[in-house]
Structure 1
Amino acid sequence: MSELQPRLKNPFSKGPVSNKKFNIRKHFNFWNMVILLSFAGLLLALVYPFSSLIFRSFLERGTNNFTLSNYKDFVRLPYYFSTLKNSFSVCIAATIFATIIGLPMAYISTRYNIWGKKLINIMVILSLMSPPFIGAYSWILLLGRNGFITKIFANFGIHLPTIYGWTGIVLVFTLKFFPYIYLYVSGALKSTDASLEEAAENLGTSGIKKLMTVTFPLILPTISAGALMVFMTSLADFGTPMLIGEGYKVLPVLVYEEFMSEIGGNAAMASALSVVIILCSLSVLMIQKLIIAKKSYTMSALRPPQVKELSLGKRIAATVFCFGIATIAMAQQVVVIITSFIKTSGPIFVKGFSLDSYRLVMHRLSRNITNTFLFSTIAIVIMIVIGLLISYVIVRKKSKATELLDLLIMFPYVIPGAVLGITLLVAFNKKPFMLSGTAGILILAYVIRKLPYTIRSSTAILYQIDPSIEEASINLGVPPMKTFFKITAVLMAPGVFSGAILSWITTINELSSSIILYTGKTSTISVAIYTEVIRASFGTAAALASILTVTTVISILIFNKLSGGQGISM
């Protein structure tokens, strides 16, 4: 027994037990708590809602019994399955046309000495940052049945093709989303190595052949990334096909109609359709990754290409081409602003200008304006705080857990807003998480959907901050948490706020999730624009759209100031 005596120490005495307490305290430090709380938040706000959505898609309407009938009906019934074909048709066409426009425009603006490059960039960015449904509304005003251009041609006996249906959706998507191609490709072309193209020219390859066999294959990952953004954004858009599609239905519109039907929505079928959209988005993303993974695209980029001098005639032609495309793309904002000052008599525009539309908006729809800026501001503050903390653990505390955290945060990036709205309603429409009908569910949707912008800009700038700065502070006796808030967070601030401004711009323009989640008390500007267009109140719709446009312009100017004039890049 004497030999066993040393092992029977008092468990409350100092020894191995105290060391275990110390280890527990060490493992549960501030950053580990951030990781744990982040996972807890994502489980509640993302994993749980999407699990509820998937579960609901397997329930039979009325009985809530398990069934596959919703998915069988989608494949079997042309009413449902045709919308998938329609969605792919407009998305593929818009992606092809956007690439045809954006690729040569990016090449000309980066490789040749055309005039007004900065102005072209600003115009392209402005056309991208406005919501797509405003573009649809603008083209209705121009080329609709009573549109300005339609009437002009009608006076000469020329009847233009209809803007409604497939043609109109593809037109709006192309002019709206080609900036993705332009911005992605412009950034890539500036960083290619000139020696590769020079080597091709020395071997007798030049002109179009050099572009197709050397330059564009080198930047194929970037081109495919831009094309992917066009496809995914087109697939997710709700407002454009709803306003201009008429009988041409796509998946997001069908999801909305199934869920919000006045004769009793079918939430189970809407959930199944939402799952189909998510699977389509993830499948396209995986296909893009597989295509890129087949080849290696690395290069040194030690010698950036020089801007080539064009002859006067070619310089004028190239400048006119780029400005022409940018002007057509930006026409939607110009049309909306001008229209907002035209007098109206009910749904009809009459001669003369006035501020009546703005007075009516301030009198009748002031709550929508207040809601938009209040909800967006709260969402941005939350995003800044979360973005600072999560980006730090993703970059500085790398592990399998933080990789999973990064993946979960980016998941909503490929999810349509309408699907996210339905997901949150399905999950938070009962106790203990009764959020439906409140401002909280709208703010939650904005945070979930737009947080990736802030996270990406925050991680990008954090990679540029030398860790030795933090180490020096800690070595001088400053606690790690205090070091982060006093030094690292301050250095990260420009990147965080730049990403937050981009999130702000897309949040104030958000329609897809807002149209699902709003009530009379929580309606936003984008929802009001949509409802005013549906009611044919085009004057008030234009006034509200102009408010969004001006806010977007101011936000972009602030972004340029914070980013040191670097502008928005992809």
Structure 2
Amino acid sequence: MASTKRRDMWTFITLGIFILYLLVLVFPLFTLLKESFNKGGAFTLDYFYQFFGKKYYYSALFNSLKVTIAVTICAVILATPLAYIMTTFKIKGKLFLQILILISSMAPPFIGAYSWILLLGRNGVVTNFMKDYLNIHTPDIYGFTGILIVLTLQLTPLIYMYLMGALKSIDNSLLEAAESMGYTGLKKMVKVVIPLIVPTLLAGALLVFMRALADFGTPMLIGEGYKTMPVLIFNEFISEMGGDDGFAAAISVIVIILALAVFLVQKFISNRKAFSMSALHPIKEKQEKGLKNILGHLYVYGFLAFAILPQMYVIYTAFLKTSGRVFVKGYSLESFKLAFERGGDSIFNTFLLGFIALFFVVLIAILIAYVTVRRRNTMTNGLDVISMVPYIVPGSVLGIALLLAFNSKPLLLSGTAAILIISFVIRRLPYTIRSSAAIVHQISPSVEEAAASLGTSNMKTFFRITLPMMLPGVISGAILSWVTIISELSTSIILYTAHTKTMTIAIYTEVIRGNYGTAAALSTILMFITIVSLLLFFKLTGKKEVAI
């Protein structure tokens, strides 16, 4: 009887979370799908005919594919040797470099776009220097080129973090055997290492593809007419001439189908190539000599310079005097003063909404991680799948889905802080779920069985024994969720109101208005919060890197 009650308790918790997902994720996506086929109360395919019937619209799909494929390929090409060098070479300042690489990936992509505009825009500091002193006209940073540069530098560290974990699971004896057969240097990497890390490479590439596909701020700021799907969705949904909800919903459905197709193809290939590795003798870094050592250092430091220096320049400009859109000689804290005057509410909202969302992220992730690992059945398997759906749903699409679903009574949430919190929780839960589930796998069930044999209730065992052992994984995922919550733009740009504006919205608004000093100051504050959060992550977990 007691075991039935215990089983019923966890079943009730699982059912409750499942219903919650049905309400805040499945129902909005179903509403979005229904809206895409509905015109004047009747079923229609007119919106899809409209999209594929005009080049203006379907060209955005090709633009998005061009950007995402190019960014994914470039990120893979850059990240693979970067991870290999950082794993096998003794690189000076490696610990500090790893932290900087991580920081470069955690800032919002649109800040990277803004920083490149300051450097290589029409009035950028590098552009002016090259023109005035060397009489050289630099290539145009706007359009496809700018989007490619910004997103590649922003997303390469994601694949790098995946690959670092995979490389550490390769047994060094494999590399020694390859060397004994004459495979050294680049040949060893191509013929031996890369085939071993293909599943991980595909997982990282998928994440980069999804991030690039969903990004709104970068093409909006630096694209200059180069429309991608998130920009098109935003423009069609929030139009000065009156947006068309049904058409925006149809475009969103096309994006979801595209993302789902890529996800399924990646899963199919990964499953075909999947295998497990256990390194009894992990790869050891070696002190290389001569040209090899020089090239290794140049590659790592060169990548990091391109990835982090633009953001460092934004921090520098935050302390410059400004006159409208122009930075003038001299230093001042005026931009920070204006940032707190104009964006004080947005800073407060970022912390308030972020912490509330984080509370629910941690609570729900702990429960989902436990039931999907320890209580495997049809319902928990379904919950495991549905909790990962936000990976393939772009932020702008989710924002529209939530607005369409919760725009009338009795579920009138549009314009409230609640709808923003819901979007934060849905989109960022997977980070904490994955890290929490990973650590539950490491906790032996015999510990809980021992407590049960002593008469301890199931729930008491969970809270007294299992949960404390889960905390390192929970904290790890929670801090990563927090960092991504405070840098969220694509969903909040659709859901926010004047009373719920966050820092990312404030930065984006100031850039659009040409208040570059204020935008730089707000960006600096946001990057400072991000860096402090990551340092806290390293302190609490004892790690010096992030495993994804």
1:173 maps onto 2:144 in alignment = no
Distance 2:142 2:460 in 1: 58
Tell me which residue corresponds to 1:553. 531
User: Residue 343 of structure 1 is aligned with which of 297, 314, 321?
Assistant: 321
The correspondence of residues 54-65 of structure 1 with structure 2, limited to 5 A, is: 54-60=33-39, 63-65=40-42
- 1:233 corresponds to which letter in structure 2? R
Q: What's the CA shift for 1:316?
A: 3.4
Distance 1:109 1:372 in 2: 35
| 195-204 or 219-228: bigger deviation | 195-204
Tell me which residue corresponds to 2:71. 94
Q: What's the CA shift for 1:298?
A: 3.6
1:116 maps onto 2:72 in alignment = no
Distance 1:28 1:105 in 2: 48
Distance 1:285 1:29 in 2: 35
The correspondence of residues 387-466 of structure 1 with structure 2, limited to 5 A, is: 387-466=365-444
Tell me which residue corresponds to 1:125. 102
1:154 maps onto 2:131 in alignment = yes
Distance 2:487 2:398 in 1: 16
Distance 1:299 1:136 in 2: 39
Q: Structure 1 residues 27, 494: closer, same or farther in 2, change over 3 A?
A: closer
**Deviations 1:68-119 (CA, angstroms, capped at 9, x unpaired):** 0111122221111100100011111111111221111111110111211111
Tell me which residue corresponds to 2:22. 43
User: Residue 76 of structure 1 is aligned with which of 43, 53, 61?
Assistant: 53
1:107 maps onto 2:84 in alignment = yes
Q: What's the CA shift for 1:135?
A: 0.2
**Deviations 1:206-249 (CA, angstroms, capped at 9, x unpaired):** 33333222210111011111111111110010000000001100
Distance 1:149 1:275 in 2: 41
Q: How many equivalent residue pairs?
A: 547
| 293-302 or 488-497: bigger deviation | 293-302
- 1:116 corresponds to which letter in structure 2? G
- 1:303 corresponds to which letter in structure 2? H
Q: Structure 1 residues 23, 381: closer, same or farther in 2, change over 3 A?
A: closer
Large movers: runs of 4+ above 4 Å: 22-25
Tell me which residue corresponds to 2:300. 322
Distance 2:4 2:195 in 1: 53
Q: Structure 1 residues 208, 523: closer, same or farther in 2, change over 3 A?
A: same
Tell me the SS of whatever aligns to 2:327.
Answer: strand
Q: Structure 1 residues 28, 222: closer, same or farther in 2, change over 3 A?
A: closer
Q: Structure 1 residues 256, 374: closer, same or farther in 2, change over 3 A?
A: same
Distance 1:55 1:539 in 2: 44
- 1:306 corresponds to which letter in structure 2? K
| 35-44 or 196-205: bigger deviation | 196-205
Distance 2:546 2:372 in 1: 23
Tell me the SS of whatever aligns to 2:30.
Answer: helix
- 2:535 corresponds to which letter in structure 1? L
Tell me the SS of whatever aligns to 2:442.
Answer: coil
Question: Normalized against structure 1, the TM-score is what?
Answer: 0.93
Tell me which residue corresponds to 2:32. 53
- 1:254 corresponds to which letter in structure 2? L
Tell me which residue corresponds to 1:30. 9
- 2:413 corresponds to which letter in structure 1? L
Q: Structure 2 stretches of 5 or more lacking a match?
A: none
- 2:342 corresponds to which letter in structure 1? R
Q: What's the CA shift for 1:484?
A: 1.2
**Deviations 1:260-308 (CA, angstroms, capped at 9, x unpaired):** 0010101111101111111111111111122223335344433222322
| 288-297 or 546-555: bigger deviation | 288-297
Q: Is the 8 A contact 2:118 2:125 kept in 1?
A: yes
**Deviations 1:499-541 (CA, angstroms, capped at 9, x unpaired):** 1110000000100000000011111100011111000000111
Q: What's the CA shift for 1:332?
A: 2.8
Distance 2:260 2:353 in 1: 29
